[in-house]
DNA sequence: ACACTGACCTGCGAGC
DNA sequence: TGCTCGCAGGTCAGTG
C-alpha cells in the first residue's frame, strides 16, 4: 500500500534506472488500468523519452518529451524492470519496451492502480484537488486551524483527506496520531494550537524517516524494482499488539471506514 | 457544505 | 479438504 514515502522511493528509483530511455512499444494487457483510450495511450508514448520524475501526493509524474505520464499505484501497483524473456504472469497489465532492451512492467494484483496521459503544462499544484504537500511551508498550524473551521471529522479522517494534505495513507495516519498523542477518533475541532503544531512537526518527521528507510513493507507489499522498505520495523501502533512506549495493549477501532490502531494510554 | 457509504478488485486467512 | 465470508485500502461517485 504505497503512501508518500513509497511513491517517493519508486520515483527516485525509476529516475535512476530509466531516465533518458525511449519507449519503443507499449503493450496494454488490461485496458481498465488506463483512464484514456489504450490505442491513443500506446501511440502517444511510442518514441517518447523519460525526462523528469516527480511526485505529487501519491501520484507519480513522469514527464516525457511532450506528454505527462501520470501513474497512481493505489494499493498494490508496482513497477519492475525485467528482460523480455522473463515470464509474464496474469497480474502484469502494462508493458513498456525500452530502447536498451529492458521492459518496464506494471504489475497490480487488484487492478486498482490507474494511468493517464495529461498535457505537459498540467497544473500539479491544484491537480485532482490535492492539498499541500506535507513539506510545503503552506502546510502549517494556521492552515490546519483554518481548514478545520466548521469541521468535526476525526483527526484520522483529516489526515487521510488528500484535499487537506497530500500523500498520507492509513499506516502513516495512525503513526502520526500516535506521535502526537492524539486518539485517531478525536474531532479535529478539539485540537489545541499545540496539537496543530505537533501535527505538522510529527507528520514531517515520520515521513522523512520513512523516506530515508525506503518506505514501508507490510503484509506482502514490497516496493517496486526489488527495493524492500524497512519502515515496518519502526511502526509504533499500526498492526501492533503492544505499545512500545507503555506496554499497554494496542486497540483497533473503525474510523471513517478504515482500521485505526491506537494506544489508549498514550493517546487522548 | 460536509459526512458517510459503497463500488472497484483480488488474495488470503479464519471459520465451518 | 473445500467452501464461504470478511478484510485489506485509495479514490470517487452517490446519497443523506
Domain boundaries, chain A: 4-125, 141-262
Q: What is the pLDDT of residues A35-87, one digit of tens each?
A: 999 999 999 999 999 999 999 999 999 999 999 999 999 888 999 999 999 99
Interval A256-265: pLDDT, tens: 888 899 999 9
Q: pTM of the prediction?
A: 0.92
Asked if A170 and A258 touch (Cβ cutoff 8 Å), the reply is: yes
Residue A156 Cβ under 7 A from any strand C atom: no
In the residue annotation, A205 being an active-site residue is answered as: no
User: What distance lies between CA A87 and its chain's CA centroid?
Assistant: 28
> Within 169-198 of chain A, which residues have Cβ less than 7 Å from strand C?
169-171
| Nearest residue to A64 via CA among A54, A77, A79 | A54
A58 among known catalytic residues: yes
The phi and psi torsions of A14 (rounded to 5 degrees) equal: -65, -40
CA distance linking residue A79 with residue A138, whole number of Å? 32
For residue A112, what is its C-alpha cell? 486498482
pLDDT for res A218: 40
Span A4-125: which CATH code? 3.20.190.10
Question: Quick check: A220 CB within 7 A of strand B?
Answer: yes
- On whether the A141-262 domain is CATH 1.10.8.50, my answer is yes
A145 tagged catalytic: no
Which residue among the candidates A2, A5, A132, A154 is catalytic per the annotation? A2
Nearest residue, CA→C1' of C12: A128
CA of A30: nearest nucleotide by C1' is B9
Does residue A258 lie within 7 Å of nucleic acid chain C, judged by its CB? yes
Q: Say how far apart CA A45 and CA A23 lie, in whole Å.
A: 7
Amino acid at each position: 500500500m504505497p503512501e508518500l514515502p513509497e511513491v517517493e522511493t519508486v520515483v527516485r528509483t525509476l529516475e535512476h534506472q530509466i531516465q533518458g530511455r525511449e519507449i519503443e512499444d507499449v503493450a496494454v494487457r488490461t485496458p481498465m488500468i488506463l483512464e484514456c483510450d489504450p490505442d491513443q495511450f500506446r501511440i502517444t508514448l511510442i518514441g517518447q523519452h523519460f525526462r523528469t520524475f516527480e511526485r505529487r501526493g501519491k501520484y507519480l509524474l513522469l514527464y516525457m518529451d511532450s506528454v505527462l505520464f501520470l501513474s497512481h499505484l493505489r494499493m498494490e501497483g508496482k513497477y519492475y524492470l525485467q528482460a523480455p524473456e522473463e515470464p509474464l504472469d496474469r497480474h502484469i497489465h502494462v508493458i513498456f519496451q525500452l530502447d536498451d532492451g529492458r521492459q518496464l512492467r506494471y504489475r497490480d494484483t487488484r487492478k486498482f492502480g490507474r494511468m493517464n496521459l495529461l498535457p505537459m503544462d498540467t497544473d500539479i499544484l491544484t491537480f485532482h484537488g490535492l492539498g499541500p504537500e506535507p513539506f510545503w511551508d503552506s502546510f502549517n498550524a494556521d492552515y490546519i486551524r483554518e481548514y478545520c473551521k466548521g469541521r468535526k471529522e476525526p483527526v484520522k479522517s483529516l489526515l487521510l483527506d488528500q484535499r487537506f494534505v497530500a500523500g498520507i495513507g492509513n499506516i502513516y495516519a495512525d503513526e502520526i496520531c500516535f506521535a502526537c498523542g492524539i486518539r485517531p477518533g478525536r474531532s479535529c475541532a478539539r485540537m489545541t494550537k499545540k496539537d496543530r503544531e505537533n501535527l505538522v512537526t510529527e507528520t514531517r518527521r515520520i515521513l522523512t524517516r520513512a523516506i530515508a528507510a525506503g518506505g514501508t513493507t507490510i503484509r506482502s507489499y514490497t516496493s517496486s524494482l526489488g527495493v524492500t522498505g524497512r519502515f515496518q520495523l519502526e511502526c509504533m501502533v499500526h498492526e501492533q499488539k503492544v505499545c512500545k512506549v507503555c506496554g499497554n495493549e494496542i486497540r483497533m477501532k473503525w474510523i471513517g471506514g478504515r482500521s485505526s490502531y491506537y494506544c489508549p494510554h498514550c493517546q487522548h
